[in-house]
Chain A
Amino acid sequence: MTYLDVARIKEDFPILRREVHGHRLVYLDSASSSQKPIAVLDAMDQMYRTSYANVHRGVYTIAEEATAAYENARTKVARFVNAPSTAELVFTRNATEAINLVAYTWARANLREGDAIVLTHLEHHANVVPWHMLAAERGVEVRWIPMTPDYELDLSNLDALLDGAKLLGVSAMSNVLGTMPPVRQLVDAAHAVGALALVDACQYVPHNVTDVQAWDADFVAFSAHKLLGPTGIGALWGREALLDAMPPFLGGGEMIRDVRLDGFTPNELPWKFEAGTQPIAEAVGFGAAVDYLSALGMDAVRAHEKQLTAYALNALLERFPRTLHIYGPLDVERRGGAVSFLFDEIHAHDVSQVLDEDGVCVRAGHHCAKPLMRVLGVPATTRASFYVYNDETDVDVLVESLAKAEKFFLG
Protein backbone atom coordinates (compact mmCIF):
# COMPACT_ATOMS: atom_id res chain seq x y z
CA MET A 1 0.00 0.00 0.00
CA THR A 2 1.42 3.40 -0.88
CA TYR A 3 0.26 6.39 1.08
CA LEU A 4 2.06 9.16 -0.77
CA ASP A 5 2.98 9.63 -4.41
CA VAL A 6 6.61 10.36 -3.61
CA ALA A 7 7.73 10.59 -7.24
CA ARG A 8 5.28 13.46 -7.71
CA ILE A 9 6.14 15.04 -4.38
CA LYS A 10 9.85 15.05 -5.25
CA GLU A 11 9.01 17.26 -8.22
CA ASP A 12 7.63 19.88 -5.85
CA PHE A 13 11.06 20.33 -4.28
CA PRO A 14 13.45 22.15 -6.64
CA ILE A 15 16.54 21.37 -4.56
CA LEU A 16 16.02 17.63 -5.08
CA ARG A 17 16.83 18.15 -8.75
CA ARG A 18 20.39 19.18 -8.06
CA GLU A 19 23.37 16.90 -8.06
CA VAL A 20 26.18 16.62 -5.54
CA HIS A 21 29.51 15.13 -6.66
CA GLY A 22 27.72 13.92 -9.80
CA HIS A 23 25.01 12.10 -7.89
CA ARG A 24 21.34 12.78 -7.35
CA LEU A 25 20.85 14.57 -4.04
CA VAL A 26 19.50 12.13 -1.45
CA TYR A 27 18.38 14.28 1.43
CA LEU A 28 18.11 12.32 4.66
CA ASP A 29 18.51 15.11 7.20
CA SER A 30 14.98 16.43 7.58
CA ALA A 31 15.09 15.99 11.35
CA SER A 32 17.63 18.78 11.30
CA SER A 33 15.76 20.92 8.80
CA SER A 34 13.43 20.07 5.94
CA GLN A 35 13.56 21.15 2.30
CA LYS A 36 10.95 23.56 0.90
CA PRO A 37 8.34 22.90 -1.79
CA ILE A 38 7.61 25.37 -4.59
CA ALA A 39 4.30 26.18 -2.91
CA VAL A 40 6.14 27.63 0.09
CA LEU A 41 8.79 29.42 -1.97
CA ASP A 42 6.10 30.92 -4.21
CA ALA A 43 3.89 32.03 -1.35
CA MET A 44 6.77 33.97 0.21
CA ASP A 45 7.96 35.34 -3.09
CA GLN A 46 4.44 36.38 -4.02
CA MET A 47 3.99 38.20 -0.75
CA TYR A 48 7.18 40.20 -1.29
CA ARG A 49 6.23 40.95 -4.89
CA THR A 50 2.61 41.96 -4.40
CA SER A 51 1.49 42.58 -0.83
CA TYR A 52 4.48 43.30 1.34
CA ALA A 53 4.19 45.92 4.05
CA ASN A 54 4.50 45.96 7.82
CA VAL A 55 1.55 44.41 9.61
CA HIS A 56 -0.98 45.85 12.09
CA ARG A 57 0.11 49.42 11.28
CA GLY A 58 -0.74 50.99 7.93
CA VAL A 59 -4.27 51.72 6.80
CA TYR A 60 -3.34 51.46 3.14
CA THR A 61 -4.33 48.55 0.96
CA ILE A 62 -1.14 46.50 0.87
CA ALA A 63 -0.64 46.91 4.62
CA GLU A 64 -4.11 45.49 5.10
CA GLU A 65 -3.34 42.67 2.72
CA ALA A 66 -0.10 41.91 4.54
CA THR A 67 -1.87 41.93 7.90
CA ALA A 68 -4.58 39.63 6.59
CA ALA A 69 -1.97 37.25 5.15
CA TYR A 70 -0.03 37.22 8.42
CA GLU A 71 -3.12 36.56 10.53
CA ASN A 72 -4.44 34.05 8.02
CA ALA A 73 -1.19 32.13 8.43
CA ARG A 74 -1.74 32.09 12.17
CA THR A 75 -5.20 30.63 11.67
CA LYS A 76 -3.80 27.89 9.44
CA VAL A 77 -1.07 26.95 11.90
CA ALA A 78 -3.51 27.04 14.83
CA ARG A 79 -5.89 24.70 12.96
CA PHE A 80 -3.01 22.43 12.02
CA VAL A 81 -2.39 21.60 15.69
CA ASN A 82 -6.09 21.87 16.64
CA ALA A 83 -5.64 24.90 18.87
CA PRO A 84 -9.02 26.05 20.16
CA SER A 85 -8.28 29.71 19.43
CA THR A 86 -5.82 31.83 17.41
CA ALA A 87 -5.27 33.91 20.55
CA GLU A 88 -3.34 30.93 21.89
CA LEU A 89 -0.99 30.64 18.91
CA VAL A 90 2.03 32.88 19.37
CA PHE A 91 4.57 33.19 16.57
CA THR A 92 8.14 32.89 17.79
CA ARG A 93 11.49 32.64 16.03
CA ASN A 94 11.61 28.86 16.45
CA ALA A 95 10.90 26.13 18.99
CA THR A 96 13.92 27.20 21.00
CA GLU A 97 12.52 30.69 21.44
CA ALA A 98 9.09 29.27 22.27
CA ILE A 99 10.57 27.25 25.15
CA ASN A 100 12.65 30.21 26.30
CA LEU A 101 9.51 32.33 26.29
CA VAL A 102 7.95 29.96 28.81
CA ALA A 103 11.16 29.82 30.85
CA TYR A 104 11.54 33.60 30.98
CA THR A 105 7.93 34.53 31.61
CA TRP A 106 5.82 31.82 33.20
CA ALA A 107 8.69 30.10 35.00
CA ARG A 108 10.38 33.22 36.33
CA ALA A 109 7.02 34.54 37.55
CA ASN A 110 6.06 31.29 39.23
CA LEU A 111 9.10 29.29 40.30
CA ARG A 112 11.35 29.97 43.24
CA GLU A 113 14.18 28.32 45.09
CA GLY A 114 13.42 24.73 46.02
CA ASP A 115 10.81 24.24 43.28
CA ALA A 116 11.39 21.33 40.94
CA ILE A 117 10.92 20.80 37.24
CA VAL A 118 11.04 17.41 35.56
CA LEU A 119 12.63 16.75 32.16
CA THR A 120 13.55 13.53 30.34
CA HIS A 121 16.79 12.02 29.13
CA LEU A 122 15.52 12.43 25.57
CA GLU A 123 15.48 16.21 25.49
CA HIS A 124 17.11 18.40 22.89
CA HIS A 125 19.35 21.17 24.26
CA ALA A 126 16.48 23.57 23.48
CA ASN A 127 14.50 21.94 26.29
CA VAL A 128 17.47 21.55 28.62
CA VAL A 129 19.60 24.68 28.62
CA PRO A 130 16.80 27.21 29.33
CA TRP A 131 16.03 25.17 32.45
CA HIS A 132 19.68 24.89 33.46
CA MET A 133 19.83 28.68 33.17
CA LEU A 134 16.75 29.01 35.34
CA ALA A 135 18.17 26.51 37.83
CA ALA A 136 21.41 28.45 38.12
CA GLU A 137 19.56 31.72 38.58
CA ARG A 138 16.78 30.59 40.90
CA GLY A 139 18.01 27.47 42.64
CA VAL A 140 15.29 25.44 40.95
CA GLU A 141 15.89 21.68 41.00
CA VAL A 142 15.93 19.79 37.67
CA ARG A 143 14.94 16.11 37.81
CA TRP A 144 15.22 13.60 35.01
CA ILE A 145 12.95 10.84 33.79
CA PRO A 146 15.46 8.16 32.72
CA MET A 147 15.47 5.99 29.63
CA THR A 148 15.08 2.21 29.58
CA PRO A 149 17.55 -0.05 27.71
CA ASP A 150 14.86 -0.23 24.98
CA TYR A 151 15.12 3.52 24.41
CA GLU A 152 11.72 4.27 25.97
CA LEU A 153 11.09 6.49 28.95
CA ASP A 154 11.27 4.63 32.25
CA LEU A 155 8.07 5.73 33.98
CA SER A 156 8.38 3.30 36.90
CA ASN A 157 9.42 6.09 39.27
CA LEU A 158 7.29 8.82 37.73
CA ASP A 159 5.21 9.65 40.80
CA ALA A 160 8.25 10.18 42.97
CA LEU A 161 9.91 12.32 40.31
CA LEU A 162 6.83 14.47 39.89
CA ASP A 163 6.24 14.83 43.62
CA GLY A 164 6.26 18.56 44.33
CA ALA A 165 7.19 19.46 40.76
CA LYS A 166 5.85 22.61 39.10
CA LEU A 167 6.57 21.78 35.47
CA LEU A 168 7.10 18.73 33.29
CA GLY A 169 8.94 19.23 30.00
CA VAL A 170 8.90 16.40 27.50
CA SER A 171 9.77 15.91 23.87
CA ALA A 172 6.94 14.27 21.91
CA MET A 173 9.50 12.66 19.65
CA SER A 174 13.24 12.29 20.17
CA ASN A 175 15.32 13.81 17.37
CA VAL A 176 18.05 11.23 18.04
CA LEU A 177 16.20 7.96 18.73
CA GLY A 178 12.80 8.54 17.15
CA THR A 179 11.21 7.51 20.46
CA MET A 180 7.68 8.84 20.95
CA PRO A 181 6.88 9.04 24.68
CA PRO A 182 3.25 8.69 25.86
CA VAL A 183 2.54 12.42 25.98
CA ARG A 184 -1.04 12.26 27.25
CA GLN A 185 -0.12 9.90 30.07
CA LEU A 186 2.73 12.19 31.13
CA VAL A 187 0.58 15.31 30.94
CA ASP A 188 -2.07 13.64 33.10
CA ALA A 189 0.54 12.60 35.63
CA ALA A 190 1.88 16.17 35.76
CA HIS A 191 -1.59 17.63 36.19
CA ALA A 192 -2.37 15.12 38.94
CA VAL A 193 0.33 16.75 41.10
CA GLY A 194 -0.59 20.28 40.07
CA ALA A 195 2.32 20.71 37.66
CA LEU A 196 2.05 22.19 34.17
CA ALA A 197 3.19 20.28 31.08
CA LEU A 198 5.28 21.68 28.25
CA VAL A 199 5.59 19.54 25.12
CA ASP A 200 8.54 20.04 22.78
CA ALA A 201 6.74 19.01 19.61
CA CYS A 202 9.43 20.21 17.23
CA GLN A 203 9.95 16.69 15.81
CA TYR A 204 6.37 15.55 16.28
CA VAL A 205 4.29 18.19 14.53
CA PRO A 206 5.99 17.77 11.12
CA HIS A 207 5.28 14.04 10.99
CA ASN A 208 2.02 13.36 12.84
CA VAL A 209 -1.53 14.50 13.29
CA THR A 210 -1.12 16.91 16.20
CA ASP A 211 -3.92 17.77 18.58
CA VAL A 212 -2.84 20.00 21.44
CA GLN A 213 -6.27 19.55 23.05
CA ALA A 214 -6.05 15.76 22.97
CA TRP A 215 -2.68 16.03 24.71
CA ASP A 216 -4.30 18.34 27.27
CA ALA A 217 -0.88 20.03 27.52
CA ASP A 218 -0.29 23.58 28.74
CA PHE A 219 2.45 24.66 26.32
CA VAL A 220 3.49 23.19 22.96
CA ALA A 221 6.52 24.39 20.98
CA PHE A 222 7.47 23.76 17.35
CA SER A 223 9.37 25.23 14.38
CA ALA A 224 8.30 25.91 10.79
CA HIS A 225 11.60 24.94 9.19
CA LYS A 226 11.21 21.28 10.12
CA LEU A 227 7.78 21.05 8.46
CA LEU A 228 8.63 22.34 4.96
CA GLY A 229 8.40 25.98 6.05
CA PRO A 230 11.04 28.71 6.23
CA THR A 231 13.58 29.37 8.99
CA GLY A 232 13.05 32.28 11.34
CA ILE A 233 9.56 31.35 12.49
CA GLY A 234 8.04 28.90 14.91
CA ALA A 235 5.17 28.78 17.33
CA LEU A 236 4.22 28.49 20.94
CA TRP A 237 0.76 27.23 21.68
CA GLY A 238 -0.36 27.91 25.26
CA ARG A 239 -3.59 27.89 27.23
CA GLU A 240 -5.23 31.27 27.05
CA ALA A 241 -5.63 31.67 30.81
CA LEU A 242 -1.94 30.93 31.34
CA LEU A 243 -0.73 33.19 28.54
CA ASP A 244 -2.98 35.94 29.87
CA ALA A 245 -1.54 35.71 33.35
CA MET A 246 2.08 35.56 32.18
CA PRO A 247 4.22 38.69 32.01
CA PRO A 248 5.32 39.67 28.48
CA PHE A 249 8.58 38.33 27.08
CA LEU A 250 10.39 40.88 24.89
CA GLY A 251 9.34 44.52 25.06
CA GLY A 252 8.90 46.89 22.13
CA GLY A 253 6.47 47.72 19.38
CA GLU A 254 3.54 45.40 18.53
CA MET A 255 3.35 43.88 22.00
CA ILE A 256 1.79 46.97 23.64
CA ARG A 257 -1.67 48.42 23.91
CA ASP A 258 -0.47 51.64 25.46
CA VAL A 259 2.84 53.21 26.42
CA ARG A 260 3.14 56.18 28.75
CA LEU A 261 6.05 58.03 30.28
CA ASP A 262 5.55 56.01 33.44
CA GLY A 263 4.86 52.57 32.01
CA PHE A 264 3.01 50.42 29.49
CA THR A 265 0.02 48.16 29.08
CA PRO A 266 0.65 44.95 27.13
CA ASN A 267 -1.33 44.06 24.04
CA GLU A 268 -3.93 41.31 23.89
CA LEU A 269 -3.07 37.74 23.02
CA PRO A 270 -1.34 36.60 20.97
CA TRP A 271 0.37 39.92 20.06
CA LYS A 272 1.42 40.48 23.67
CA PHE A 273 4.28 38.06 22.95
CA GLU A 274 5.19 39.32 19.47
CA ALA A 275 7.51 42.27 20.01
CA GLY A 276 8.91 44.23 17.08
CA THR A 277 8.43 43.74 13.37
CA GLN A 278 7.62 40.10 12.80
CA PRO A 279 8.90 37.65 10.16
CA ILE A 280 5.94 38.41 7.91
CA ALA A 281 6.81 36.55 4.73
CA GLU A 282 8.03 33.65 6.87
CA ALA A 283 4.63 33.47 8.56
CA VAL A 284 3.05 33.29 5.11
CA GLY A 285 5.50 30.50 4.22
CA PHE A 286 4.62 28.71 7.47
CA GLY A 287 0.95 28.85 6.46
CA ALA A 288 1.72 27.56 2.96
CA ALA A 289 3.73 24.69 4.47
CA VAL A 290 0.90 23.47 6.68
CA ASP A 291 -1.45 23.81 3.68
CA TYR A 292 0.90 21.60 1.66
CA LEU A 293 1.07 19.00 4.43
CA SER A 294 -2.68 19.12 5.03
CA ALA A 295 -3.28 18.48 1.33
CA LEU A 296 -1.13 15.34 1.61
CA GLY A 297 -2.94 14.45 4.82
CA MET A 298 -0.99 14.03 8.05
CA ASP A 299 -2.39 10.53 8.49
CA ALA A 300 -0.87 9.60 5.14
CA VAL A 301 2.41 11.33 6.05
CA ARG A 302 2.69 9.31 9.23
CA ALA A 303 1.70 6.06 7.49
CA HIS A 304 4.27 6.68 4.75
CA GLU A 305 7.03 7.36 7.26
CA LYS A 306 6.19 4.31 9.33
CA GLN A 307 6.43 2.18 6.22
CA LEU A 308 9.68 3.78 5.08
CA THR A 309 11.24 3.62 8.55
CA ALA A 310 10.39 -0.09 8.80
CA TYR A 311 11.95 -0.62 5.40
CA ALA A 312 15.10 1.26 6.45
CA LEU A 313 15.49 -0.50 9.80
CA ASN A 314 15.09 -3.83 8.05
CA ALA A 315 17.53 -2.99 5.28
CA LEU A 316 20.18 -1.77 7.75
CA LEU A 317 19.90 -4.78 10.03
CA GLU A 318 19.88 -7.20 7.16
CA ARG A 319 22.86 -5.69 5.37
CA PHE A 320 25.00 -5.02 8.45
CA PRO A 321 23.87 -7.63 10.98
CA ARG A 322 27.09 -7.67 12.98
CA THR A 323 28.75 -4.30 12.50
CA LEU A 324 25.98 -1.75 12.76
CA HIS A 325 24.15 -0.78 15.92
CA ILE A 326 20.81 1.04 15.81
CA TYR A 327 19.99 3.44 18.64
CA GLY A 328 16.24 3.60 19.09
CA PRO A 329 13.13 1.44 19.29
CA LEU A 330 12.63 -1.01 16.42
CA ASP A 331 8.82 -1.00 16.53
CA VAL A 332 7.67 1.70 14.09
CA GLU A 333 4.36 2.08 15.95
CA ARG A 334 6.35 3.54 18.81
CA ARG A 335 8.83 5.67 16.92
CA GLY A 336 9.27 8.25 14.21
CA GLY A 337 11.54 8.40 11.19
CA ALA A 338 14.81 9.61 12.73
CA VAL A 339 17.15 6.61 12.66
CA SER A 340 20.44 6.84 14.55
CA PHE A 341 23.12 4.23 14.05
CA LEU A 342 26.80 3.59 14.47
CA PHE A 343 29.29 1.15 13.02
CA ASP A 344 31.38 -0.53 15.71
CA GLU A 345 34.65 0.62 14.25
CA ILE A 346 33.90 3.67 12.15
CA HIS A 347 33.34 7.15 13.45
CA ALA A 348 30.06 8.87 12.54
CA HIS A 349 31.88 11.74 10.80
CA ASP A 350 33.87 9.41 8.59
CA VAL A 351 30.68 7.64 7.60
CA SER A 352 28.91 10.83 6.64
CA GLN A 353 31.96 12.00 4.69
CA VAL A 354 31.79 8.91 2.50
CA LEU A 355 28.03 9.30 2.14
CA ASP A 356 28.45 12.89 0.96
CA GLU A 357 30.59 11.57 -1.85
CA ASP A 358 27.44 9.77 -3.08
CA GLY A 359 25.20 12.81 -2.64
CA VAL A 360 23.68 11.38 0.55
CA CYS A 361 23.05 13.95 3.31
CA VAL A 362 22.89 12.56 6.84
CA ARG A 363 23.69 14.14 10.15
CA ALA A 364 26.68 13.01 12.19
CA GLY A 365 27.28 14.23 15.71
CA HIS A 366 25.54 14.68 19.03
CA HIS A 367 22.34 16.11 17.52
CA CYS A 368 22.10 18.82 20.20
CA ALA A 369 21.27 16.16 22.76
CA LYS A 370 24.50 15.72 24.71
CA PRO A 371 22.85 14.55 27.95
CA LEU A 372 21.22 11.75 25.96
CA MET A 373 24.48 10.91 24.18
CA ARG A 374 26.11 10.58 27.60
CA VAL A 375 23.38 8.16 28.67
CA LEU A 376 23.90 6.22 25.43
CA GLY A 377 27.65 6.24 26.09
CA VAL A 378 28.62 7.40 22.61
CA PRO A 379 30.04 10.77 21.53
CA ALA A 380 28.26 10.80 18.19
CA THR A 381 25.91 8.83 15.96
CA THR A 382 25.04 8.99 12.30
CA ARG A 383 21.38 9.80 11.76
CA ALA A 384 19.25 9.34 8.68
CA SER A 385 15.81 10.92 8.87
CA PHE A 386 12.89 10.68 6.47
CA TYR A 387 10.15 12.91 5.22
CA VAL A 388 7.46 13.11 2.56
CA TYR A 389 9.97 13.37 -0.29
CA ASN A 390 11.90 10.22 0.62
CA ASP A 391 11.24 6.76 -0.73
CA GLU A 392 12.72 3.28 -0.69
CA THR A 393 15.17 4.17 -3.46
CA ASP A 394 16.68 6.79 -1.16
CA VAL A 395 17.08 4.14 1.53
CA ASP A 396 18.70 1.79 -1.00
CA VAL A 397 21.22 4.48 -1.97
CA LEU A 398 21.96 5.01 1.73
CA VAL A 399 22.55 1.33 2.35
CA GLU A 400 24.84 0.95 -0.69
CA SER A 401 26.80 4.01 0.36
CA LEU A 402 27.16 2.66 3.90
CA ALA A 403 28.47 -0.60 2.49
CA LYS A 404 31.04 1.45 0.61
CA ALA A 405 32.03 3.28 3.79
CA GLU A 406 32.41 0.02 5.66
CA LYS A 407 34.60 -1.43 2.95
CA PHE A 408 36.66 1.76 2.74
CA PHE A 409 37.49 1.92 6.44
CA LEU A 410 37.47 -1.71 7.48
CA GLY A 411 38.81 -3.15 4.24
Chain B
Amino acid sequence: MPGLEDLYREIILDHYRSPRNRGELPVPPAHKVEGFNPLCGDEVVLYLDVDPDTDTVRDVKIAGQGCSISQASTSMMSAAVKGKSVAEARQLIRAFKALMSIHEHKLEGEGDGADLQAELEGVRLGDLEALQGVVKFPVRIKCATLAWNTLQQGLDETG
Protein backbone atom coordinates (compact mmCIF):
# COMPACT_ATOMS: atom_id res chain seq x y z
CA MET B 1 0.00 0.00 0.00
CA PRO B 2 1.49 3.36 -0.97
CA GLY B 3 1.44 5.76 1.95
CA LEU B 4 0.94 9.48 2.23
CA GLU B 5 4.70 10.05 2.38
CA ASP B 6 4.98 8.61 -1.14
CA LEU B 7 2.60 11.26 -2.41
CA TYR B 8 3.39 14.27 -0.29
CA ARG B 9 7.17 14.35 -0.20
CA GLU B 10 8.69 17.16 1.84
CA ILE B 11 9.96 18.99 -1.24
CA ILE B 12 6.41 18.98 -2.67
CA LEU B 13 4.93 20.44 0.49
CA ASP B 14 7.68 23.03 0.46
CA HIS B 15 6.80 24.15 -3.08
CA TYR B 16 3.12 24.15 -2.12
CA ARG B 17 3.66 26.32 0.95
CA SER B 18 6.21 28.61 -0.72
CA PRO B 19 5.62 28.55 -4.47
CA ARG B 20 8.48 29.81 -6.65
CA ASN B 21 8.01 32.40 -9.38
CA ARG B 22 4.57 33.43 -8.27
CA GLY B 23 3.34 36.61 -9.95
CA GLU B 24 2.58 38.11 -13.33
CA LEU B 25 4.47 39.38 -16.36
CA PRO B 26 3.29 42.18 -18.65
CA VAL B 27 1.40 40.79 -21.67
CA PRO B 28 2.85 41.33 -24.25
CA PRO B 29 5.77 40.74 -24.49
CA ALA B 30 4.96 37.75 -22.24
CA HIS B 31 2.37 35.21 -23.29
CA LYS B 32 -0.39 34.24 -20.87
CA VAL B 33 -1.86 30.75 -20.91
CA GLU B 34 -4.40 29.12 -18.61
CA GLY B 35 -4.94 25.48 -17.79
CA PHE B 36 -8.05 24.21 -16.11
CA ASN B 37 -9.09 20.88 -14.69
CA PRO B 38 -12.87 20.94 -14.93
CA LEU B 39 -13.24 17.91 -12.68
CA CYS B 40 -11.69 19.41 -9.59
CA GLY B 41 -11.52 23.10 -10.46
CA ASP B 42 -7.73 23.27 -10.31
CA GLU B 43 -6.40 26.20 -12.25
CA VAL B 44 -2.94 27.06 -13.52
CA VAL B 45 -1.99 30.40 -15.06
CA LEU B 46 1.40 30.78 -16.75
CA TYR B 47 3.13 33.90 -17.99
CA LEU B 48 5.83 32.87 -20.45
CA ASP B 49 8.46 35.24 -21.69
CA VAL B 50 10.15 33.48 -24.60
CA ASP B 51 13.03 35.27 -26.30
CA PRO B 52 12.44 34.72 -30.04
CA ASP B 53 16.08 35.37 -30.94
CA THR B 54 17.64 32.78 -28.68
CA ASP B 55 14.50 30.63 -28.34
CA THR B 56 14.85 30.50 -24.58
CA VAL B 57 12.35 30.82 -21.77
CA ARG B 58 13.65 34.10 -20.40
CA ASP B 59 11.19 34.30 -17.56
CA VAL B 60 8.14 32.52 -16.25
CA LYS B 61 5.59 33.48 -13.60
CA ILE B 62 2.76 31.40 -12.22
CA ALA B 63 -0.65 31.98 -10.68
CA GLY B 64 -3.75 29.92 -10.04
CA GLN B 65 -5.23 27.78 -7.34
CA GLY B 66 -5.75 24.14 -6.57
CA CYS B 67 -4.57 21.18 -4.59
CA SER B 68 -1.05 20.79 -3.25
CA ILE B 69 -0.01 18.46 -6.05
CA SER B 70 -1.14 20.73 -8.87
CA GLN B 71 0.29 23.86 -7.29
CA ALA B 72 3.58 22.27 -6.25
CA SER B 73 3.99 20.76 -9.69
CA THR B 74 3.42 24.21 -11.23
CA SER B 75 6.01 25.77 -8.96
CA MET B 76 8.55 23.04 -9.66
CA MET B 77 7.90 23.27 -13.36
CA SER B 78 8.49 27.03 -13.36
CA ALA B 79 11.80 26.58 -11.58
CA ALA B 80 12.81 23.80 -13.96
CA VAL B 81 12.15 25.59 -17.26
CA LYS B 82 13.22 29.12 -16.39
CA GLY B 83 16.31 29.97 -18.43
CA LYS B 84 16.08 26.79 -20.51
CA SER B 85 15.84 26.69 -24.28
CA VAL B 86 12.42 25.90 -25.72
CA ALA B 87 13.80 22.58 -26.98
CA GLU B 88 15.01 21.70 -23.49
CA ALA B 89 11.65 22.71 -22.02
CA ARG B 90 9.85 20.44 -24.47
CA GLN B 91 12.19 17.62 -23.59
CA LEU B 92 11.37 18.17 -19.92
CA ILE B 93 7.67 18.01 -20.70
CA ARG B 94 8.15 14.65 -22.42
CA ALA B 95 10.33 13.36 -19.62
CA PHE B 96 7.87 14.47 -16.98
CA LYS B 97 4.97 12.78 -18.75
CA ALA B 98 7.03 9.62 -19.05
CA LEU B 99 7.63 9.84 -15.33
CA MET B 100 3.85 10.01 -14.89
CA SER B 101 3.55 6.87 -17.07
CA ILE B 102 1.88 8.82 -19.84
CA HIS B 103 3.00 7.65 -23.26
CA GLU B 104 1.52 9.73 -26.00
CA HIS B 105 0.31 8.16 -29.22
CA LYS B 106 0.38 4.72 -27.59
CA LEU B 107 -2.79 2.85 -26.94
CA GLU B 108 -1.76 -0.44 -25.53
CA GLY B 109 0.34 -1.42 -22.58
CA GLU B 110 1.80 0.51 -19.74
CA GLY B 111 4.99 1.22 -21.60
CA ASP B 112 8.10 -0.56 -20.45
CA GLY B 113 11.05 0.61 -18.47
CA ALA B 114 12.99 1.11 -21.68
CA ASP B 115 10.57 3.81 -22.82
CA LEU B 116 11.02 5.67 -19.60
CA GLN B 117 14.78 5.34 -19.89
CA ALA B 118 14.69 6.68 -23.45
CA GLU B 119 12.62 9.71 -22.52
CA LEU B 120 14.72 10.42 -19.48
CA GLU B 121 18.00 9.99 -21.34
CA GLY B 122 20.12 13.02 -20.69
CA VAL B 123 17.36 14.87 -18.85
CA ARG B 124 17.94 16.05 -15.29
CA LEU B 125 14.62 16.03 -13.50
CA GLY B 126 16.11 16.97 -10.17
CA ASP B 127 13.42 17.96 -7.65
CA LEU B 128 10.74 16.89 -10.08
CA GLU B 129 11.47 13.28 -9.33
CA ALA B 130 9.76 13.81 -6.00
CA LEU B 131 6.51 13.83 -7.95
CA GLN B 132 7.03 10.27 -9.10
CA GLY B 133 5.07 8.98 -6.09
CA VAL B 134 1.95 10.48 -7.67
CA VAL B 135 1.89 7.56 -10.11
CA LYS B 136 0.75 5.30 -7.29
CA PHE B 137 -2.35 7.50 -6.86
CA PRO B 138 -3.86 7.38 -10.36
CA VAL B 139 -6.59 9.96 -9.75
CA ARG B 140 -3.95 12.52 -8.80
CA ILE B 141 -1.83 12.18 -11.98
CA LYS B 142 -3.96 14.80 -13.70
CA CYS B 143 -3.18 17.19 -10.85
CA ALA B 144 0.54 16.78 -11.45
CA THR B 145 0.38 17.06 -15.24
CA LEU B 146 -1.88 20.12 -15.45
CA ALA B 147 1.03 22.58 -15.28
CA TRP B 148 2.95 20.66 -17.92
CA ASN B 149 0.07 20.45 -20.36
CA THR B 150 -0.45 24.16 -19.87
CA LEU B 151 3.24 24.81 -20.54
CA GLN B 152 3.06 22.72 -23.69
CA GLN B 153 0.07 24.71 -24.89
CA GLY B 154 1.87 27.95 -24.09
CA LEU B 155 5.00 26.93 -26.00
CA ASP B 156 2.90 25.83 -28.97
CA GLU B 157 1.13 29.17 -29.00
CA THR B 158 4.31 31.25 -28.78
CA GLY B 159 6.28 29.14 -31.22
Cβ contact of A349, chosen from B13, B43, B143, cutoff 8 A: B143
Residues of B within 8 A of A354 (CB): 4
- In the complex, how many angstroms separate the beta carbon of B142 from the nearest chain A beta carbon? 11
- Contact indicator per residue, chain A 375-397, by CB within 8 Å of chain B (1) or not (0): 00001100000000000000000
CA distance A379 to B2 in the complex (A): 28
A212 smallest CB distance to B (angstroms): 34
Contact B41 A21, beta carbon cutoff 8 Å: no
- Give A22 to B1 CA distance when docked, in angstroms: 10
B:99-143 near A, CB below 8 Å: 137, 140, 143
B41 adjacent to A365 (CB under 8 Å): yes
Give the total of B residues in contact with A, Cβ under 8 Å.
Answer: 20
- Across the interface, B67 reaches (CB within 8 A) one of A347, A357, A366, A373, namely A347
Contact (A379, B140) CB under 8 Å given A21-B1, A408-B4: no
Chain A residues closer than 8 Å to B143, beta-carbon distance: 349
Cβ contact within 8 Å between B8 and A349: no
Q: Closest chain A residue to B71 by CB distance?
A: A347
Verify if A314 is at the interface (C-beta below 8 Å from B): no
CA distance A369 to B153 in the complex (A): 29
Say if the beta carbon of A46 comes within 8 Å of chain B: no
Rounded to whole angstroms, the CA-CA distance of A22 and B65 in the bound complex is: 33
Determine if B40 and A409 form an interchain contact, defined as CB atoms under 8 angstroms apart: no
B66 part of interface (Cβ distance < 8 Å): yes
A379 touches B43 (CB 8 A): yes
Asked if A333 is an interface residue, CB under 8 A from chain B, the answer is: no
Q: Which one of A21, A22, A373, A380 has the greatest number of beta carbons of chain B within 10 Å?
A: A380
| A277 contacts chain B at the CB level, 8 A cutoff | no
Contacting A353 at CB < 8 Å: which of B41, B42, B65, B137?
B137
Q: Is A350's CB within 8 Å of the partner chain B?
A: yes
B68 at the interface (CB under 8 A from A): yes
Check if B66 sits within 8 Å of A347, measured CB to CB.
Answer: yes
B40 x A365 contact (CB < 8 A): yes
CB nearest to A345 among chain B residues: B17
A349 with B67: CB separation less than 8 A: yes
**Smallest CB separation, B79 vs chain A (Å):** 21
Given contacts A21-B1, A349-B143, contact A366 B41 (CB under 8 A): yes
Q: Are B40 and A353 in contact (CB under 8 A)?
A: no
CA distance A347 to B67 in the complex (A): 5
Distance in Å from the Cβ of A246 to the closest Cβ of chain B? 34
In whole angstroms, how far apart are the Cα atoms of A399 and B91 in the complex? 44
Q: Which of A365, A373, A409 contacts B39 (CB 8 A)?
A: A365
Partner of B68, one of A21, A364, A409: A409
Nearest-neighbor residue (CB-CB) of A22 within chain B: B1
Which residue on chain A has the smallest CB distance to residue B7? A353
B28 within 8 A of A: no
A379 and B7 contact, CB distance less than 8 A: no
20 contacting pairs across A/B (C-beta < 8 A): A22-B1, A346-B68, A347-B67, A348-B67, A349-B40, A349-B67, A349-B140, A350-B69, A353-B7, A353-B137, A354-B4, A357-B3, A365-B40, A379-B41, A379-B42, A379-B65, A379-B66, A380-B40, A380-B41, A409-B13
Q: Residues of A at under 8 Å CB distance from B?
A: 21-22, 346-350, 353-354, 357, 364-366, 373, 379-380, 408-409
* Residues of B participating in the A interface, judged by any CB pair closer than 8 Å: 1, 3-4, 7-8, 13, 16, 39-43, 65-69, 137, 140, 143
Given A346-B68, A379-B40, A409-B13, 13 new contacts (CB under 8 A): A347-B67, A348-B67, A349-B143, A350-B68, A353-B4, A353-B140, A354-B4, A357-B4, A364-B40, A379-B41, A379-B66, A380-B40, A409-B68
The 3 A-B pairs with the shortest beta carbon distances in the complex, nearest first, are A379-B41, A347-B67, A349-B67
